Chain A
């Protein structure tokens, strides 16, 4: 299938002749690549924090397989253990496709948790440390400079204070939900803090100002009255590096850092979390 795109609409003939060389002939196509098939590899997504834990188990699929990634009941054992060797077993719940504990897990800052998963006789394990929580000082909406030049775009901004002591490098996993639907996630550090305050920015689109041709399936569209929730999780370096390497993986053609031993994919994140909710009204945009 060929989908050549002419990106320029230039009235001047001279300009057209000049720029034809650089711009108008650029094209993009969907091509067929003869993908190689591989044996499925187990994928474990696991988190513990705020007294809760959840584990999702899936496996890789071939590139030309159907895009279904529901959690599956594959593990014979899923156990999370804290620094004091208190173990909690998690059980599979069909309705959500997740492994969940039957009890609250005490997740205090400074504690390191270990997860052990057994699938088809193979053991997989990982560990993660709970870090000190941050404080979300404020969340607000603002029009900020954007592309193309001279334009402004709607952005949700959160100001975060990290009260942890010293000049230690700190790591965060941030998420924005719109009406309980995940809009966007990001990772950040306290390296860019200005006088101890870290700024997070989530781009948004205001529904009433969208053009009929705009993509309405995007996850960052807001309307008056929508509820937005900003979650900031303090995470350890190991978890941060997993998500960082996952972010750059597509560009560099590499897989995320192994977070589990045993040869599976995925991560184990212990965290402390701070949440801030705000209702959107366009009249309040700065």
Chain B
């Protein structure tokens, strides 16, 4: 067993914990809960002491808030983008039990934006983007679907991998370096129909937060970013139903009380039906192409101190050709969460978490029967204490998580040949994170996370030579510790409120990642091969430093922000030259490890108020890798490097239920490896590659537009949504291939494959 940090380091942790000030003073507090008109808790609403705006807080995931105010009476201002702002008076009688109901402002579209500027000025976390499903701006929809991940990619520093991919890249990282959580459970390959849809049905979501800069110590296992998605709880007061039909899919949801306002439910189901139409086509009747997903959540308010929630997600994609080819992949997750409030200061959240991602592909033709499959299963327990001392100047999170991971990196058959590699690991994390205000205008967030990753026996482990050949095989018994990696991950963030309208932010974070997706191409696919940290493969370790500035006009209408970052990642893995995913079942034999680095600066100008809202974002960035044995061991441009990234988003409310939105995106073309010469071997033309990713694909740009009309009837609401994807029909690069051309004197040609031209869409939704 190799433990990098022994007792001495653990002592440091204890000392650090002890040094964190948890001193409660006798200051008075104002407490309450913020709900929607339907009764659902509102998460992330900001509450300010109107007479002293520098004093503020935000609601937690149950809608609760607690704000230290010494004045005996005054006024609170409660606001959240997408809702009417409310002022409410408090005095000695109601200061412990303020109840606020927010009313949404035309909220019937997925709305993506960073939080209102006031939040951005106050928020300590640098590089955190909160996406509220019922917040602000309406972004264009694709196929009538409002896609949280597609919308994310309109923010600076976040880019889509390519058309037909639900993968997103954050600050020079790859999509495999992101952690996607749904109610604490991990989702892999969060896409349907090869990425045309994301795995998240917007009807089932409460909110989502993308941590692209500083990741709080409660989160880890991602060397690039964490997307934390919270699913929706059912309305505890009345039954509500929704049904929507679009060009390619339909969905329905239901929610309401089961037992009084104690127990409520939410359930949604979505399915594509393109394959129903395929049956009528002689040419395509043998094709299979469908997906479904379902979300369900039970919420049990046991009493004022205890809430129990049980959530479930399941989704499956099927693609193939009858009797020839079959491909499917699934995500199933479930979490049981117990929220317990001990007193005004201390609360806890305990979760049992399970997730299962699996994929399968098979081909049977020309006397060959080939199958490939793999899975990743998580079984976990998470416990987090939240401490809010009475002085209102501290917010402390202390917790632990323990997870057993069962991962099959490959299981294939080629006729009678059958090989598989399945391994287990035990992951344990302990964290402490404190947000506090040492002085009025300065907020600090200090965090420390200990990551312990133990590789477990029960499967062979190896020693390899420089060629990747096995020199020794270790056979540990099941459950035996093969190797333990211990890493301390410090997190730091500071927000200096220079004035009412300006703030400066600084952040540093170290994160580790132990599940690695290995890809031949720059784009994720549902059949990517995954592996875990082992005796040979080391944890990815990412260090990121960010510095940002946010300013807003005094009327809060316009905001400007700029953030710069530098990130270094150790133990980045790629295939050896001449190897592909099925070159060997022992995955370490086909990989080489190295380093990555990314740096850039993000600019954003927003208009927040009025009929017209929107933003312009620009990112200038670099992303590079260096891996011994690849590109002559020199630094090379990473395939996900996009030097310039621009997004322009505009939304206009015409009134009377009509809304319009448009977005234009531009990226520098993807870095690609193209040949610099050619030669023949036998009768084949072989390309000579002088350097990795030394060329660029053509630039990517497109304009999307959508209109929606909402009509509120006494008994139901009807929403039409019309969208046009890629309005000016620009074909963007999806794949670049180098092919023989017998008609050309050079004998070769460069082909660019594109997926989507102009795509109209329409959807109709009823809610009642």
- A interface, CB within 8 angstroms of B: 8-12, 14-15, 17-22, 25-38, 40-41, 43, 45, 58-67, 69, 142, 144-150, 153, 155, 157, 182, 185, 191-194, 199, 201, 203, 217, 241, 244-246, 248-257, 265-267
Contacts and interface: CB of A to CB of B under 8 A. Distances in A.
Q: Which 5 A-B pairs have the closest CB atoms?
A: A245-B578, A67-B747, A253-B673, A149-B286, A254-B577
A81 B54 CA distance: 85
Given A15-B280, A22-B193, A257-B578, 9 more contacts: A35-B676, A40-B677, A63-B748, A67-B746, A67-B748, A145-B366, A182-B682, A248-B578, A251-B520
A28 B688 contact: no
A12 B323 contact: no
Interface string B735-752: 010100010111111111
Contacts of B738: 250
Interface in B660-718: 672-683, 685-690, 692-695, 698
B6 to A, nearest CB: 42
Q: Which of B364, B365, B682 has most A Cβ within 10 Å?
A: B365
Contact of A256 (B676, B686, B744): B686
A69 to B, nearest CB: 4
A42 to B, nearest CB: 9
Nearest to A59: B679
Contact of A201 (B287, B366, B685, B731): B366
B609 interface: no
Interface string B165-182: 000000000000000000
B580 A31 contact: no
A275 B434 CA distance: 75
A10 B283 contact: yes
Interface stretch (B92-100, B410-418, B616-624): B410-418
Contact of A191 (B247, B278, B417, B694): B417
Contacts of B322: 149-150
20 contacts: A10-B283, A10-B284, A12-B277, A14-B277, A22-B193, A22-B248, A26-B753, A27-B753, A33-B695, A38-B690, A41-B677, A43-B681, A64-B746, A192-B417, A193-B416, A201-B368, A217-B742, A249-B689, A255-B689, A256-B578
B579 interface: yes
B498 interface: no
Contact of B323 (A17, A26, A149): A149
B679 A58 contact: yes
B274 interface: yes
Contacts of A217: 742
Contacts of B749: 30
Interface of B: 143, 193, 196, 247-248, 274, 277-278, 280-281, 283-284, 286-287, 289, 321-325, 364-368, 414-417, 520-521, 575, 577-580, 583, 630, 672-683, 685-690, 692-695, 698, 731, 736, 738, 742, 744-759, 761
A241 to B, nearest CB: 7
A245 B577 contact: yes
A146 B366 contact: yes
A38 B677 contact: yes
B750 A32 contact: yes
A194 B248 contact: no
A192 B688 contact: no
Contacts of B688: 38, 41, 60, 255, 265
B414 A191 contact: yes
Contacts of B694: 36
A27 B321 contact: no
Q: Which of B278, B281, B583, B744 has most A Cβ within 10 Å?
A: B281
B687 to A, nearest CB: 6
A61 B414 CA distance: 38
Q: Which of B680, B695, B742, B757 has most A Cβ within 10 Å?
A: B680
A192 B415 contact: yes
A191 B757 CA distance: 45
A22 to B, nearest CB: 7
Contacts of A252: 520, 575, 577-580
B266 to A, nearest CB: 29
A144 B366 contact: yes
B577 A26 contact: no
Contacts of A185: 682
A250 B577 CA distance: 11
Q: Which of A22, A45, A194, A267 has most B Cβ within 10 Å?
A: A22
Contacts, number: 231
A61 B755 contact: no
B752 A29 contact: yes
Q: Which of A61, A149, A241 has most B Cβ within 10 Å?
A: A149
Given A20-B759, A149-B322, A155-B367, A63 B579 contact: no
A245 B681 CA distance: 13
Contacts of A33: 674, 695, 736, 750
Contacts of A257: 577-578
B417 A8 contact: no
Contacts of A246: 578, 681, 686
Contacts of B676: 35-38, 62-63
Given A25-B759, A149-B323, A192-B417, A155 B750 contact: no
Contacts of A45: 681-682
Nearest to B272: A18
B730 to A, nearest CB: 11
Contacts of B672: 253
Nearest to B413: A192
B277 A19 contact: yes
A17 B682 CA distance: 47
A193 B754 CA distance: 40
B368 A26 contact: no
Contacts of A192: 414-417
B759 A69 contact: no
B683 A182 contact: yes
Nearest to B672: A253
A241 B410 CA distance: 21
B573 to A, nearest CB: 14
A255 B677 CA distance: 11
B697 to A, nearest CB: 9
A30 B752 CA distance: 6
Contacts of A153: 366
B757 A27 contact: yes
A4 to B, nearest CB: 8
Contact of B681 (A155, A201, A254, A267): A267
Given A20-B759, A150-B322, A63 B677 contact: yes
A18 B366 contact: no
Contacts of B630: 254
A18 B274 contact: yes
Contacts of A155: 366-367
Contacts of A60: 677-679, 688
Contacts of B143: 21
A15 B282 CA distance: 12
A35 B749 CA distance: 11
Nearest to B749: A30
Contacts of B752: 28-31
A248 B747 contact: no
Contact of A29 (B687, B731, B744): B731
Contacts of A194: 415-416
B757 A25 contact: yes
A3 B747 CA distance: 18
Contacts of A34: 695
Nearest to A145: B365
A35 B415 contact: no
Contacts of B744: 67
Nearest to B364: A145
Nearest to A68: B747
A63 B112 CA distance: 46
A273 to B, nearest CB: 15
Nearest to A21: B759
A65 B748 CA distance: 9
Contacts of A251: 520-521, 580
Given A145-B365, A244-B583, A250-B687, A31 B750 contact: yes
